[in-house]
């Protein structure tokens, strides 16, 4: 029985406040960091109230780490967001030296040169990237990469990493340094050992430990875990006195940022290969994990000419180390059903440690793959893991096959809904024909709809979607935005209570339901590319969605064209082929899809697409067609430049075309442009226009 507040002594109050601070912090961490709450809402609230009641009577005892101070920030929604002035990109991956060769060949072709290009070769640190902003030499803001456009504000957390300079002498007025935060292997083992003793959950690998430590709402916890970092690139800078990546590293060192001592300038492919092999040899003995090498064109002016693809630079690439392998046995083979109905076989494995990560499942891709490798339940197999890729089965060890084993028979019916599963001639996969009446497809469809590049509703996790689907409260994406309305039914005695009352379900409470609705309501306005991607049209990924958004600008225009099968504008987009166009049009012929879209449009707002970055340029929003051979730059370079200035590049001339740029030996496109009265520019005129 708790003592009445008016009866407790100051010493008892001090002890109880200390106890409450620890208990509430533990509950918060279970709830916010591990998604594993162990107190129900009432129990949690009781602790909180008790804490504030005691504090009200003994304000002199309010602790620095008091839960009443912390909670505001904690409960809101965790970290505040930071929009990167320059997106934080990722890198394309390659796994062999031939692919590196192709990469370099592509660069040379783009630049139209046959000379060797020098690359900086850097170990690829397996941690998580950060950005640190300095204004007049003072550290002012830290951020995670997030989705590349928006990250989380980790300023306070970064301040606790002693390797990060808080002040930089002789820095440009604005200096944003980017790099990787990691945990050394030794610190990782120490941390896990300590956690093991304390009965806490341990981390799977140093990378997870670093991520878990940096993304702590309480920077105190970040401070307690040992984190290190390497700096390797820049974001926004008011001045850029370096001409090469090599020179940039010199600046970093002068500014006291840790720079990886193994970064090496390589003058040609042979040197890159030699360096790669050397690093692979010493990899295990390094004090931190690396998962490959990063090659960056050394010259900054060449980097600028090469520019970017959608999410990755054209001037850099990650060359990954070969996957790590281990031996284990297959306990079972299960069939998963994906969003598009594809049946994917998955092997359940005897859990095994593969290069530091416990692996218990592996994908078997499709039925042909199982046949080709003759994979059976009970087999001993080699599994491999490469980076974040889902573990795979490389090979069956035949000598170890049990005598009674039999060939795996792939089902011809969907294991989820019983519908026929058929295989089309040109496809490797067998698909369930149940469409959205198949629970697995419907669920996967919703999971895709809320995923990070789509609506990005983190509060609506896979498990919740599955539960809600089976509880009949969430069948289509449109149901998401009516959940709140449907949740609260009339509660008085005379009217029937028709509400869903999710808060009464096991595992839910008033607060968690409110959090969910807030998370959903925060996403009622969505950008056009995200919305198109969210629809889950076959073959329409983020890049295609962006292209469509850039070319149509408005969802209804796009939808009307698709419903009326008007594809001229669509197929004119460079990067959209006829098979993609067919899938897109087919999607809009399905009444069920139109129904869902219309219901969604009642609940949400889709922003028109405006290319805000470049709307000042004279070619922004214009459609350009190139024809003939250019002399001052390659076609790809011209195309990339035009796109960077907000123009759309089309493959063929139509009435939608604004400019046709003609090089030497221009053919029928030039004639057609003349016929249609479209502005024709030669290469010099085009360059002048861009400037
Ligand atoms: S440069 C535009 N350099 O790898 C260039 N990245 O897949 C962007 N990484 O998100 C990155 N070591 O987290 C670069 N020396 C290095 C790196 C490195 C590790 C990580 C980084 C990035 C990811 C790209």
Boundaries of every domain in the chain: 1-67+325-453, 100-320, 457-522, 526-607, 623-690
Whole-prediction pTM value?
0.57
Q: What is the pLDDT of residue 584?
A: 95
Q: What is the rounded CA–CA span in Å between residue 345 and residue 354?
A: 21
**In Å, what is the CA distance from 198 to each residue of 193, 194, 201, 623?**
9, 6, 9, 63
Q: Which of 293-302, 532-541, 639-648 has the highest mean pLDDT?
A: 293-302
- Tell me, what's the pLDDT at 74? 36
Catalytic residue among 6, 48, 124, 400: 124
- Rounded to an integer, the average pLDDT of 669-686 is 90
Same fold, 526-607 and 623-690: no
Q: How far apart are CA 534 and CA 450, in angstroms?
A: 7
Cα 357–Cα 360–Cα 364 angle in degrees, nearest 5:
115
Q: What is the CATH number of domain 623-690?
A: 3.40.50.10190
> 41-57 and 67-77 are packed helices; what angle lies between their axes, rounded to 10 degrees?
140
Highest mean predicted confidence (pLDDT) among 237-241, 543-547, 590-594, 629-633:
237-241
pLDDT of residue 614 exceeding 60: no
Residue 120 and residue 263 in contact, taking contact as beta carbons nearer than 8 Å: yes
Residue 304 CA to residue 298 CA, distance in Å, equals: 11
> Which of 223, 180, 217 shows the shortest CA–CA distance to 70?
217
> Residue 318 CA: which ligand 1 atom is closest?
7
Which residue has the least CA distance to atom 22 on ligand 1? 90
Residue pLDDT, tens place only, 532-572: 999 999 889 888 999 999 899 999 999 999 999 999 999 98
Q: What is the pLDDT of residue 73?
A: 33
Query: Looking at ligand 1, which residue's alpha carbon is closest to its atom 21?
Result: 129
> Quick check: CB of 146 below 6 Å from ligand 1?
no
Backbone angles phi, psi at 661, to 5 degrees: -100, 120
Q: Is 181 in the pocket of ligand 1 (CB under 6 A)?
A: no
Instruction: Give per-residue pLDDT as tens, 17-60.
Output: 999 998 888 887 776 656 566 777 667 778 888 998 898 888 88
* Confidence at residue 1, expressed as pLDDT on a 0 to 100 scale: 57
Report the chain's mean pLDDT, rounded to a whole number.
Answer: 89
For residue range 475-523, what is the model confidence (pLDDT) as tens digits? 999 999 999 999 987 555 565 667 888 999 899 999 999 999 999 999 9
Q: What is the pLDDT of residues 427-440, one digit of tens each?
A: 788 999 988 889 99
Beta bridge partners, 449, equal: none
* Of residues 569, 581, 545, 583, the one with CA closest to residue 652: 569
Beta bridge partners of 525: 605
Residues in the chain: 691
Contacts 24+ apart (CB under 8 A), 578-583: 579/539, 580/539, 580/540, 580/544, 583/537, 583/538, 583/539, 583/540
**Alpha-carbon span 412 to 422, nearest angstrom:** 7
CA distance 490 to 444: 32
- The pLDDT of residue 244 is 98
* Catalytic site includes residue 511: no
| pLDDT > 70 fraction of the chain, expressed in percent and rounded | 94
What are the residues facing 144 on neighbouring strands?
130
Instruction: Look at residue 71 and tell me whether its pLDDT is greater than 60.
Output: no
Q: Cβ distance 641 to 626 under 8 Å?
A: no
Select the CATH number that applies to the domain covering 457-522 from these four: 1.10.3470, 3.30.1490, 1.10.150, 2.40.50.
1.10.150
**What are the CA-CA distances from residue 660 to residues 254, 637, 650 (Å)?**
49, 16, 10
211 lines ligand 1 (CB under 6 A): no
Q: Identify the weakest region by mean pLDDT among 88-92, 193-197, 623-627.
A: 193-197
Query: 77-106 as b/e, with b when 16 or more CB fall inside 10 Å?
Result: eebeebebeeebbebebbbeeeebeebbee
Task: Give the span between the Cα atoms of 444 and 38, in whole angstroms.
Answer: 29
CB of 473 sitting under 6 A from ligand 1: no
Give the separation between CA 175 and CA 139, rounded to whole angstroms.
9
Residue with tokens 């400019």: 659
CA of 589 to the centre of ligand 1 (A): 42
CATH for 1-67+325-453, options being 3.40.50.300, 2.40.50.140, 1.10.10.60, 2.40.160.40: 2.40.50.140
CATH number of 526-607: 1.10.150.20
Contacts of residue 220, defined as CB under 8 A and 6 or more positions apart, other chains included, come to 65
Q: Element (H or E) spanning 351, and its range? A: strand 343-354
Query: Which of 374 and 355 is assigned the larger pLDDT?
Result: 374
Distance separating alpha carbons of residues 175 and 86, to the nearest angstrom: 12
Between CA 522 and CA 76 the distance in angstroms is: 13
Q: Tell me what pLDDT residue 390 has.
A: 75
Domain 100-320 fold: D-amino Acid Aminotransferase; Chain A, domain 1 (3.30.470)
* 318 close to ligand 1 (CB < 6 Angstrom): yes
Rounded to the nearest angstrom, the distance between the alpha carbon of 636 and the centre of ligand 1 is: 25
Question: What value does the mean pLDDT take over residues 92-115?
Answer: 94
- Please name which of 587, 580, 536, 539 lies closest in space to residue 559, comparing C-alpha atoms: 587
- Our answer on whether the CB atom of 234 is closer than 6 Å to any ligand 1 atom is no
Q: How confident is the model at residue 115 (pLDDT cuts 50, 70, 90)?
A: very high
């Amino acid at each position: 029985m708790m003592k009445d507040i008016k009866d407790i002594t100051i010493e008892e109050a001090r002890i109880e406040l200390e106890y409450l601070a620890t208990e509430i912090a533990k509950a918060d961490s279970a709830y916010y960091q591990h998604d594993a709450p162990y107190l129900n809402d009432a129990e949690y609230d009781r602790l909180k109230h008790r804490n504030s009641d005691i504090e009200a009577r003994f304000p002199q005892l309010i602790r620095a780490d008091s839960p009443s101070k912390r909670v505001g920030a904690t409960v809101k929604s965790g970290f505040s967001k930071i929009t990167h002035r320059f997106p934080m990109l990722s890198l394309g991956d390659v796994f062999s030296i031939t692919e590196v060769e192709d990469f370099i060949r592509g660069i040379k072709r783009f630049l139209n040169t046959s000379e060797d290009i020098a690359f900086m070769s850097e170990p690829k640190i397996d941690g998580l990237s950060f950005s640190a902003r300095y204004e007049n030499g003072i550290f002012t803001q830290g951020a995670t990469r997030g989705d590349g456009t928006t990250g989380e504000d980790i300023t306070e957390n970064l301040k606790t990493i002693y390797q990060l300079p808080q002040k930089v002498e002789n820095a440009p007025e604005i200096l944003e340094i980017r790099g990787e935060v990691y945990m050394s292997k030794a610190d990782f083992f120490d941390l896990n050992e300590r956690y093991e003793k304390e009965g806490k959950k341990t981390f799977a690998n140093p990378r997870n430990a670093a991520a878990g430590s940096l993304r702590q709402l309480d920077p105190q916890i970040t401070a307690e875990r040992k984190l290190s970092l390497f700096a390797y690139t820049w974001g926004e800078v008011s001045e850029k006195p370096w001409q090469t990546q090599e020179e940039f590293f010199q600046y970093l060192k002068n500014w006291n940022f840790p720079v990886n001592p193994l970064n090496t300038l390589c003058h040609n492919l042979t040197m890159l290969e030699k360096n790669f092999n050397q690093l692979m040899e010493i990899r295990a003995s390094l004090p931190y994990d690396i998962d490959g090498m990063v090659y960056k064109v050394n010259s900054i002016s060449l980097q600028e000419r090469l520019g970017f693809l959608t999410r990755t630079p054209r001037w850099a690439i990650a060359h990954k180390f070969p996957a790590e392998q281990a031996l284990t046995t297959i306990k079972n083979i299960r069939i998963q059903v994906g969003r598009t109905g594809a049946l994917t076989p998955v092997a359940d494995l005897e859990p095994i440690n593969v290069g530091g990560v416990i692996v218990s499942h592996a994908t078997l891709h499709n039925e042909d793959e199982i046949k080709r490798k003759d994979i059976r339940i009970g087999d001993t197999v080699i599994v491999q893991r490469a980076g974040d890729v889902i573990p795979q089965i490389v090979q069956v060890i035949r000598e170890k096959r049990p005598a009674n084993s039999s060939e795996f028979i792939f089902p011809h019916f969907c294991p989820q809904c019983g519908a026929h599963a058929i295989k089309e001639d040109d496809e490797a996969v067998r698909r369930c024909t149940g469409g959205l009446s198949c629970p697995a497809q419907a669920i996967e469809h919703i999971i895709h709809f809320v995923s990070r590049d789509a609506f990005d509703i983190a509060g609506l996790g896979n498990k919740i979607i599955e539960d809600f689907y089976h509880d009949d409260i969430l069948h289509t994406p449109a149901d998401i935005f009516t959940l709140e309305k449907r949740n609260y039914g009339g509660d008085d005695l005379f009217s029937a209570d028709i509400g869903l009352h999710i808060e009464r379900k096991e595992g839910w409470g008033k607060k968690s339901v409110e959090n969910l609705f807030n998370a959903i309501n925060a996403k009622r306005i969505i950008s056009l590319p995200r919305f198109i991607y969210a629809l889950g049209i076959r073959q329409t990924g983020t890049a295609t969605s962006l292209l469509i958004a850039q070319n149509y600008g408005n969802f209804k225009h796009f939808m009307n064209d698709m419903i009326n099968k008007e594809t001229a504008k669509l197929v004119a987009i460079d990067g959209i082929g006829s098979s993609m166009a067919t899938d897109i049009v087919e999607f809009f012929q399905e009444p069920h899809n139109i129904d869902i879209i219309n219901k969604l449009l009642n609940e949400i707002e889709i922003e028109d697409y405006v290319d805000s970055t470049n709307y000042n340029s004279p070619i922004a929003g214009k459609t350009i067609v190139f024809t003939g051979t250019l002399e001052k730059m390659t076609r790809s370079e011209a195309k990339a430049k035009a796109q960077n200035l907000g123009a759309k590049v089309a493959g063929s001339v139509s009435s939608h075309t604004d400019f046709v740029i003609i090089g030497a030996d221009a053919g029928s496109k030039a004639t057609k442009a003349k016929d249609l009265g479209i502005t024709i520019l030669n290469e010099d005129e085009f360059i002048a226009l861009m400037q």
